[in-house]
Chain A
Amino acid sequence: MTETSQHSGPVLAADGRPLKASLARALRREKLRAMLLIAPLLVFILITFVVPIGQMLFRSVENQIVSDVLPRTSEALEEWSYNDGAAPGEAVFFALTQDMVVAAERKEHTRLGSRLNYEESGISSLFRKSGRKVDEIGEGYADQFEAVNPMLVDPAALTQLFATSAWSEAVASDAELAVTRTFKVNKDVAEALPRASDAFREFAVFNQSVDEKDPRKAKLWNSVSLALFEDLRQNPAATVDGPASAAIAAAAAAVPAFDVEDLAQSFAKIDKDWLDPEVWTVIKRYSPEFTNGYFLNAIDMEKTVDGPAWRDEDQQIYLKLFWRTMLMSMTITISCILLGYPVAWLLANLPTRQANLLMILVLLPFWTSLLVRTSAWKVLLQQQGVINDIVVWLGLVSDENRLQLINNATGTIIAMTHILLPFMILPLFSVLKTIPPTYLRAAKSLGATNWTAFWRVYFPQSVPGIGAGSILVFIMSIGYYITPEIVGGTKGVFISNRIAYHISSSLNWGLAAALGAILLAVVMLLYWAYDRIVGIDNVKLGG
């Protein structure tokens, strides 16, 4: 001890380490132990909640499909602009042929078609139609090459020409490897015939990986002949080594005399929409890997050649639905406060026996299926329903003018107020129970009227309960979907109904994710505002 005090350095612990470090170490160990305790829950929440939701929300900006399926086309399109006023040139159509042949064989073109159809009606069938016929493009070249030398369209000979020597040797020793060993292109040939070797590689790899076939025995794609023609036309001096060199030289000599196929016209023959710059601008616009297109759609805007613009009025829907969802959720919350407060007050102030009975009545709806409760409201509220029958029988309204209580906003508000009422009553009750009745008596003995005593003394103390109940009810109702769908008609549906539609019917998950992300952001914003105005510390879920 004396030794330590003589030291001018830091205070040391019993084991000789500085006390500060030792303390921090102990604390760290404590923290780690606490972390270990909550780790299972944390991991569970991360895996089952945060990650899936994050992935889903990521879809709202993700857009890799265009560059994945049409890599050559989206690159070739960079040169082109909508302001050219016409469809792009032959180079783009050449790239499109190569991409479409691969996509059609891999059956990816329809998926891309339905993706782009979200942006421009008609693209879905354009792609489906084109995928069916694109393998015919270039057939003329295949025939003409065959006339020059059958070797030029023989997959076995072409495999030998385009493959690396390592690949050819391996396959020669073991024929099995022709399927299992991924095809590699010979660099020298690729330099002389870049397009043809690219097209042939796609052909070979497709046969190996998807069809599990030996490319030497498969049926050659016409797109390879098309690519070979394009190579030889652009570079008539191209030469290759090996057994094919004579055939290639002969082909290069013959190419200038070939009948030329106008690719744009070939596509136009499949569907004239390929000449429409509108279609091309959509493809170009959605070529980047990420897009803000879904978010623009989610707020009734769209991408146009002049940047984002509002949609036509007859297509604007989402902002209206967001606004309606907010307004109606607020109305439902307020109705829940008005109806729930007296019940919670009774619960808190009745003798235990009666309070328990009342509590059971409040909880009873919880034990009934949500669908049953909602359908029951249908029976009650419809025009030939119980409530209308009673008011007509009482003579309050005439038989011709029965009240319209369902299939509109009124129906949604009534049914949802009923369904969400317990979520208001329970937190309110637990707060009201903690307010000592003596405060009211004291207020009254000091001369306050019943109302003043309630409003000035009792009510302010119950505000935390109202806050908790309101947050619960509001946030739950904002995401409600099944009840508005059944009783809401057209004027009483929420944004969540559109999200459900895009998830389950239109399969436009990107748009659904964008709508969901906006909804989440709005809820968080409101929560933040609530915290600033009321203070989240003032919310009490229990005594």
Chain B
Amino acid sequence: MKTTTTLLATTAMTLAGTSAFADAHMADSMTIVSWGGAYSASQQGAYHDPYMANTGITIINDESSSEAVAKLRAMNEAGNVTWDLVDVEAADAIRLCDEGLALEIDHDEMLAAGADGSTASDDFGDSIISDCFIPQIVFSTTVGYRTDMVGDTPPTEICAIFDTDTYPGKRALAKKPLANVEWALLCDGVAKADIYEVLATEEGQAQAFAKLDTIKDDVIWWSAGAETPQLLADGEVVMGSTFNGRLFSAIAEQDQPIGMLWDAQMLDYDGWIVPAGLSDDRLARVMDYLTFATDTQRLADQAKYISYGPARASSAPLVGDHGELGIPMAEHMPTDPANSKNVFVTQYEFWADYRDDLDAKFQAWLAQ
């Protein structure tokens, strides 16, 4: 055991040494694109600051992730890609990879092995949903509710969304089909294992919309993740879906009278893509940064700042306490065993195929 540790340490030192020597061929600044807000702050604390301290380079933050796909395509067509690294959701990573706008990654070759000795691709496991995607965090779309508006029987399972008798009042749901149609079918009695098979058929889609029809008049549709916590705080809605990190900050950091469900949460990944067509020195810098920023310890560090789970299995045991509140973060992770008894893992292949079709139907349904 001890020999292994020493061996690993030596390897790590050699790696660190090589990266220090390689500096001469690397760009000395890089532009990283992310989502802004609390999420960018967590990356700043866990990745950017230590990396800048180690290397002395400058990291420029650009908060354009929400328009990253379109902007990257435009940059690529103009032949002038100004971004070095882009934080995107898994579904967008697939899109960018399909369009040839993102670089394909050999995870084992280019990224650090897990601290427990597993190869990078084993350590990341299922979260590598595309050849271009370097996973960072696991997040989930789940439901929060007003504790003072649900009476003595707070909801415990997802179908409370559709139960307007027990929980009257408005609900906030995302203005896109993802998650909504799955929940609708689940609450309409479709077995969890069959949901995507059913959704691929016309009848299945009609069934999902028919279920959503039962609450259509009670729904406020959101397009930004911050809206639901705001609507809950204002008492505009009794419950609503949003990202688990948003609910955590509303509950733990802002002390709002809000509770949350983990039942049938939709697990999803967020991570990096490297734009295609970077010059050699910029690419070398990006890969050096990535090796550092996606190793076991760094991913675990990010959880100090935000309640999203690290994408590496080896990072989970290292997740510590919240940076300011001092509460243990592990139990607020979507991947915590107590929270993940009943989860959906977003089916990227399905959504890549059916997203446009379902979205058109969803929008037409909304407009009716």
**A residues whose Cβ falls under 8 Å from a Cβ of B:** 107-108, 110-111, 113-114, 117-118, 121-125, 128, 314-317, 320-321, 324, 382-385, 407, 485, 489-491, 498, 501, 503-509
The yes or no answer to B15 lying at the interface (CB within 8 A) is no
The yes or no answer to B352 lying at the interface (CB within 8 A) is yes
**B residues whose Cβ falls under 8 Å from a Cβ of A:** 66-67, 69-70, 73, 95, 97-100, 104, 170, 175, 206, 209, 220-221, 223, 234-236, 349, 352-357, 359-361, 363-367
Which residue, A117, A321, A507, has most C-beta atoms of chain B within 10 A? Answer: A507
Contact yes or no, B100 A110, CB < 8 A? yes
Expressed in whole angstroms, the minimum distance between the Cβ of A430 and any Cβ of chain B is: 38
Contact yes or no, B356 A118, CB < 8 A? yes
Per the bound structure, the CA–CA distance linking A113 and B170 in Å amounts to: 40
Which residue, B220, B236, B361, B367, has most C-beta atoms of chain A within 10 A? Answer: B367
Contact yes or no, A383 B236, CB < 8 A? yes
Contact yes or no, A507 B234, CB < 8 A? no
Contact yes or no, B234 A382, CB < 8 A? yes
Contacts A382-B236, A503-B70, A505-B69; is A107 near B353 (CB within 8 Å)?
no
Contacts of B67 in A (CB 8 A): 504
Contact yes or no, B367 A321, CB < 8 A? yes
Contacts A504-B70, A506-B355; is A110 near B365 (CB within 8 Å)?
no
Contacts A124-B352, A125-B352; is A114 near B364 (CB within 8 Å)?
no
Contact yes or no, B98 A114, CB < 8 A? yes
Contacts of B221 in A (CB 8 A): 407, 489-490
Picked from B97, B235, B357, B366, the residue with its CB within 8 Å of the CB of A110 is B97
Q: Which residue in chain A gives the minimum CB-CB distance to B92? A: A505
The 3 closest A-B pairs by CB, nearest first: A110-B98, A121-B357, A490-B366
Expressed in whole angstroms, the minimum distance between the Cβ of B206 and any Cβ of chain A is: 8
Contacts of B206 in A (CB 8 A): 314
Which residue, B70, B97, B206, B220, has most C-beta atoms of chain A within 10 A? Answer: B70
Contacts A114-B95, A505-B69; is A121 near B353 (CB within 8 Å)?
yes
Per the bound structure, the CA–CA distance linking A509 and B360 in Å amounts to: 15
Picked from A114, A122, A123, A503, the residue with its CB within 8 Å of the CB of B99 is A114
Contacts of A498 in B (CB 8 A): 363
Contacts A110-B100, A382-B234, A490-B367; is A485 near B223 (CB within 8 Å)?
yes
Contacts of A110 in B (CB 8 A): 97-100
Picked from A122, A384, A507, the residue with its CB within 8 Å of the CB of B73 is A507
Contacts of B104 in A (CB 8 A): 107
Per the bound structure, the CA–CA distance linking A320 and B366 in Å amounts to: 12
Interface CB pairs A-B, < 8 A, 14: A110-B98, A110-B99, A111-B99, A124-B98, A314-B206, A314-B209, A317-B360, A317-B363, A321-B367, A324-B367, A382-B236, A407-B220, A490-B175, A501-B359
Picked from B95, B234, B349, B365, the residue with its CB within 8 Å of the CB of A125 is B349
Per the bound structure, the CA–CA distance linking A383 and B73 in Å amounts to: 41
Q: Which residue in chain A gives the minimum CB-CB distance to B70? A: A504
Contacts of B359 in A (CB 8 A): 501, 506
Expressed in whole angstroms, the minimum distance between the Cβ of A191 and any Cβ of chain B is: 36
Contacts of A123 in B (CB 8 A): 353
Q: Which residue in chain A gives the minimum CB-CB distance to B348? A: A125
**Given A111-B99, A114-B98, A320-B367: 8 more A-B contacts, CB < 8 Å:** A118-B356, A122-B354, A128-B352, A317-B367, A384-B234, A384-B236, A490-B367, A507-B73
Picked from A128, A320, A382, the residue with its CB within 8 Å of the CB of B98 is A128
